[in-house]
């Protein structure tokens, strides 16, 4: 009041001061109005940009189903134990303070009196700066040690309650702190039901601990169809996504097989959420906003039959020794793959959490190679199974006719070409076509191949598209070795021709041979094989369309006379049905199996190092519905090793048909 009275009396100096103060207040008010009103939106947007981080939320992966909609690859909920670091900030600060005091005490600095106010002001303006008791590098190290001590203590309490021995390295925590501080720090990826119950009841007293439920890939039948279905591996980056994310939650991508070939459809569309973080990078638990809901991936419905697949793998597993081989079961009426197995195999579930060095050792074995799909990517000399194609080539060229197939040829147990002697697996004697086929006489087929010529023999193989990929398009495929006439090794010599006629010097995959035998069984139609029938929305109420992969797609026609097929098919029937047939051990009562055995030699120079055994077949004779190809590496013989495997598979098929359980349509 005294100041105002003096101003009112007209004292000029005070009036000048009052006007100056008033103008200053007006300037401050104008500045505040500009910052809060005119520029408020800009600063709010800048604050949000600095405080919100987007997180990629993966979609639930689509299922892989067999033709009867039985899951082969599915998802299951998994409980994960996480630690939220933002809730541990007070403990971090307390521990850091304690560690700092301990460090100062160790240096003796803690016994020195605190500087006075005058000393601190003098030091601030002094040219000679006072050296700090703790450097910036030491302070960062103390913070790092404090975080690790606190988190390790929490993990120790968890171990005590669950009876575990979990250890998280300081490097893992530090990496998470630097790169993903706003996200929870994972402690246990897979909790059992009992562990979930214990933590639900007792974990309330452990700060920062939370149970999170996440969907995880799961293969309910373990090893079943592992090579064709495939597996998934950890992958958090996807280049095709337009949105830039600050963080990405755990996700997977297909590695091989159907999982890889249809990864885009199975993976679905990822969602997004934003999380609010403070200036230190901590997450505000109440500041989470869902921006986009993830859309589940589509289901892939295959042509496989789970029941048959189990029977196939069980039959192949009964081969004595370390079985290495493959089985393909195909429908000759449309090219659908009903079962496909490769041995040895693996459990795709082992890849979900990563494979240890010990578990990965078998995959490095150059002989066993459990990750190698022998059915589609393995190519082998077909041996005497190729005599099916040699016979058709001779019939088509007129070397064999409906009349002379009954003419007999005397063999000596070998076949001589100049100075080269080719051994015969059949004993010396007289052979017509039928007996030569079922006894697998090399001399008979070599002799007729000499009359046929290499060009026409290779041309017949090309009509089956040997030397080209089968076109399954769900994994690695090999084309095999089946050269054109001008590409043959040895310049197309007679010795080379003799070898090719009995399935040496060329290679095929089991799938290629299945397609070829299917064409013989159905009367000359070469189909594209198919293992996926359709891709459909995961939600059955969805209006999204189903993408169907048309079955029964014709690749080629052999254009051979029906009687030629009749001759060859009758010989294949007798190879199993006759007591002297090499495939007699594949015989099934009241189910006419037709087949051809084969044994191919693998040589290094002139030294025999291995044998590849085969049984190529279809059934039943009257109305072919199944093609079964069995290949076993290092087997004894096609008839002794592979035919019994096929017999068990046909018995399963026959029993199922008698029980009225037909092969379901996909």
149/101 same-domain check: yes
Residue 287 · residue 259 · CB < 8 Å = no
Q: What is the dihedral of CA 369, 375, 376, 382, to 10 degrees?
A: 110
pLDDT at 202 over 60: yes
The answer to the question of residue 397 being in a domain is yes
Decide if pLDDT at 665 tops 80.
Answer: no
Q: For residue 48, name the pLDDT band (cuts at 50, 70, 90).
A: very low
Whether 252 and 323 map to the same domain: the answer is: no
The domain boundary, picked from 276, 302, 328, lies at: 302
CB contact at 8 A, 54 and 291: yes
Confirm whether 136 is domain-assigned: yes
Residue 568, SS3 per DSSP: helix
Instruction: For residue range 495-543, list pLDDT tens digits in order.
Output: 999 999 999 999 999 999 999 999 999 999 999 999 999 999 998 888 8
Reported as a pLDDT band with limits 50, 70 and 90, residue 113 is low
Q: Does pLDDT of 347 surpass 50?
A: yes
Residue 297 sits in the same domain as residue 387: no
* pTM (two decimals): 0.83
Higher-scoring residue by pLDDT: 416, 135: 416
| 275, 302, 329 - which closes a domain | 302
What integer pLDDT is reported at residue 239 of this predicted model?
52
Give the SS3 label for residue 472: coil
Does residue 319 lie in a domain region? yes
Query: In terms of C-beta distances under 8 Å and separation of at least 24 residues, what long-range contacts does 541-549 make, across chains too?
Result: 547/265, 547/298
DSSP state of 214: E
- Tell me the C-alpha distance between 382 and 401, whole Å: 25
Within a domain: residue 409?
A: yes
Expressed as residue numbers, the domain containing 226 is: 54-110+132-302
* CATH classification of the domain holding 202: 3.90.1310.10
Q: Does the pLDDT value for residue 37 go beyond 50?
A: yes
CA trace torsion 137, 140, 142, 143 (10° rounding): 180
Q: Are residues 249 and 314 in the same domain?
A: no
Residue 49 confidence (pLDDT): 46
**pLDDT tier at 316 (50, 70, 90 boundaries)?**
very high
Q: In this structure, are 310 and 215 located in the same domain?
A: no
Average pLDDT over residues 22-37: 74
Query: Where are the alpha helices (H) located in 12-74, listed in sequence order?
Result: 12-33, 40-51
**CA-based angle 632:389:431, to the nearest 5?**
90
- For residues 380 and 479, the answer to whether their CB atoms sit within 8 Å is no
Total domains present in the chain: 2
- Residues 587, 576 contacting (CB under 8 angstroms): yes
Q: Which CATH number does the domain housing residue 493 bear?
A: 3.40.710.10
Q: Which of 598, 591, 609 is nearest to 647 (CA)?
A: 591
| Banded pLDDT at 285 (limits 50, 70, 90) | low
pLDDT at 600: 95
Q: Which of 349, 329, 311, 377 is nearest to 226 (CA)?
A: 349
* Helix, strand, coil percent values for the chain (each to nearest 5): 40, 20, 35
Other CB atoms within 10 A of residue 447 CB:
19
**Per-residue pLDDT, 132:** 59
Shared domain for 265 and 324, answered yes or no, is no
Q: Are residues 259 and 393 in the same domain?
A: no
Average pLDDT, the chain: 87
Q: Is 575 a domain residue?
A: yes
Task: Please tell me whether residues 180 and 211 are part of one structural domain.
Answer: yes
Give yes or no: residues 246 and 332 share one domain.
no
Q: What is the pLDDT confidence band of residue 135, given thresholds at 50, 70 and 90?
A: confident
At residue 311 the predicted structure's pLDDT band, cuts being 50, 70 and 90, is: very high
pLDDT in tens, 632-660: 999 999 999 999 999 999 999 999 999 88
DSSP for 172-201, please give it: HHHHHHHH-TTSPEEEES---HHHHHHHHH
Task: Answer yes or no: do 311 and 294 share one domain.
Answer: no
- Give the percent of the chain with pLDDT over 90: 60
Residue 401 inside a domain? The answer is yes
> Residue 66: which of 376, 337, 297, 470 has the closest Cα?
337
Q: Using the Cα atoms of residue 96, residue 100, residue 101 and residue 105 in order, give the sign of their dihedral.
A: positive
CB-CB contact of 303 with 531 (8 Å): yes
Tell me which of 44-48, 423-427, 512-516 is least confident: 44-48
Q: What is the mean pLDDT of residues 613-621?
A: 98
pLDDT of 575 > 50? The answer is: yes
- Do 333 and 285 reside in the same domain of the chain? no
Any domain includes 59: yes
CA atoms within 13 A on the CB side of 601: 13
234 with 313, same domain: the answer is no
- pLDDT at residue 549 greater than cutoff 70: yes
Query: Which DSSP letter does residue 270 get?
Result: -
* Residue 8 predicted with pLDDT over 90: no
Q: Tell me which of 247, 269, 302 is where a domain ends.
A: 302
Inside any domain, residue 19:
no
pLDDT recorded at residue 270: 84
């Amino acid at each position: 009041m005294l100041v105002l009275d003096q101003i009112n009396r007209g004292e000029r100096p005070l009036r000048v001061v009052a006007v100056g103060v008033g103008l200053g207040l007006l300037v401050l008010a104008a500045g505040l109005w500009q910052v809060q009103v005119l520029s408020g939106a800009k600063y709010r947007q800048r604050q949000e940009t600095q405080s919100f981080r987007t997180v990629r939320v993966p979609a639930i992966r689509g299922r892989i189903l067999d033709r009867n909609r039985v899951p082969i690859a599915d998802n299951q909920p998994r409980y994960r134990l996480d630690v939220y670091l933002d809730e541990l900030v007070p403990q971090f600060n307390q521990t850091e303070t304690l560690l700092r005091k301990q460090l100062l005490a160790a240096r003796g600095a803690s016994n020195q009196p605190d500087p006075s106010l005058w000393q601190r002001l003098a030091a601030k303006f002094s040219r000679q700066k006072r050296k700090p008791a703790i450097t910036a590098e030491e302070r960062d190290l103390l913070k790092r040690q404090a975080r690790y001590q606190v988190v390790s203590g929490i993990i120790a309490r968890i171990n005590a309650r669950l009876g575990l021995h979990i250890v998280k390295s300081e490097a893992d925590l530090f990496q998470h702190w630097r790169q993903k501080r706003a996200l929870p720090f994972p402690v246990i990826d897979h909790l059992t039901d009992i562990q979930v119950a214990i933590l639900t009841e007792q974990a309330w007293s452990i700060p920062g601990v939370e149970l999170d439920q996440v969907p995880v890939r799961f293969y309910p039948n373990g090893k079943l169809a592992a090579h064709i279905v495939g597996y998934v591996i950890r992958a958090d980056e996807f280049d095709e996504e337009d949105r830039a994310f600050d963080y990405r939650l755990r996700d997977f991508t297909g590695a091989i097989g159907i999982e890889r070939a249809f990864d885009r459809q199975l993976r679905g569309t990822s969602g997004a959420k934003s999380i609010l973080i403070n200036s230190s990078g901590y997450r505000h638990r109440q500041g989470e906003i869902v921006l986009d809901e993830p859309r589940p991936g589509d289901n892939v419905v295959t042509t496989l039959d789970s029941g048959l697949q189990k029977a196939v793998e069980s039959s192949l597993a009964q081969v004595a020794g370390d079985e290495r081989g493959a089985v393909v079961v195909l429908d000759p009426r449309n090219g659908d793959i009903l079962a496909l197995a490769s041995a040895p195999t693996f459990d795709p579930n082992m890849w979900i959490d990563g494979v240890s060095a010990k578990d990965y050792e078998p995959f490095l074995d150059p002989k066993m190679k459990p990750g190698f799909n022998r059915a589609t990517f393995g190519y082998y000399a077909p041996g005497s199974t190729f005599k099916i194609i040699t016979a058709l080539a001779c019939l088509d060229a007129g070397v064999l006719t409906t009349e002379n197939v009954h003419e007999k040829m005397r063999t000596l147990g070998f076949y001589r070409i100049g100075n080269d002697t080719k051994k015969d697996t059949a004993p010396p004697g007289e052979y017509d076509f039928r007996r030569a086929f079922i006894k697998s006489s090399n001399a008979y087929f070599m002799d007729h191949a000499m009359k046929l010529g290499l060009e026409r023999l290779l041309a017949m193989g090309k009509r089956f598209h040997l030397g080209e990929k089968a076109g399954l398009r769900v994994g690695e495929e090999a084309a095999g070795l089946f050269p054109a006439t001008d590409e043959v090794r040895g310049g197309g010599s007679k010795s080379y021709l003799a070898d090719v006629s009995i399935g040496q010097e060329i290679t095929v995959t089991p799938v290629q041979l299945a397609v070829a035998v299917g064409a013989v069984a159905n009367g000359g139609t070469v189909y594209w094989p198919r293992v996926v029938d359709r891709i459909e929305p995961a939600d059955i109420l969805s209006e999204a369309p189903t993408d169907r992969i048309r079955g029964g797609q014709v690749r080629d026609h052999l254009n051979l006379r029906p009687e030629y097929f009749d001759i060859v098919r009758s010989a294949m029937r007798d190879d199993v049905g006759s007591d002297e047939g090499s495939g007699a051990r594949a015989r099934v009562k009241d189910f006419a199996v037709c087949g051809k055995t084969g044994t191919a030699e693998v040589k290094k120079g002139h030294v025999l190092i291995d044998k590849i055994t085969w049984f190529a077949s279809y059934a039943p004779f009257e109305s072919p519905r199944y093609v079964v190809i069995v290949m076993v590496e290092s087997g004894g013989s096609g008839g002794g090793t592979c035919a019994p495997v096929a017999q068990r598979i046909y018995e399963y098929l026959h029993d199922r048909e008698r029980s009225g359980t037909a092969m379901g349509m996909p």
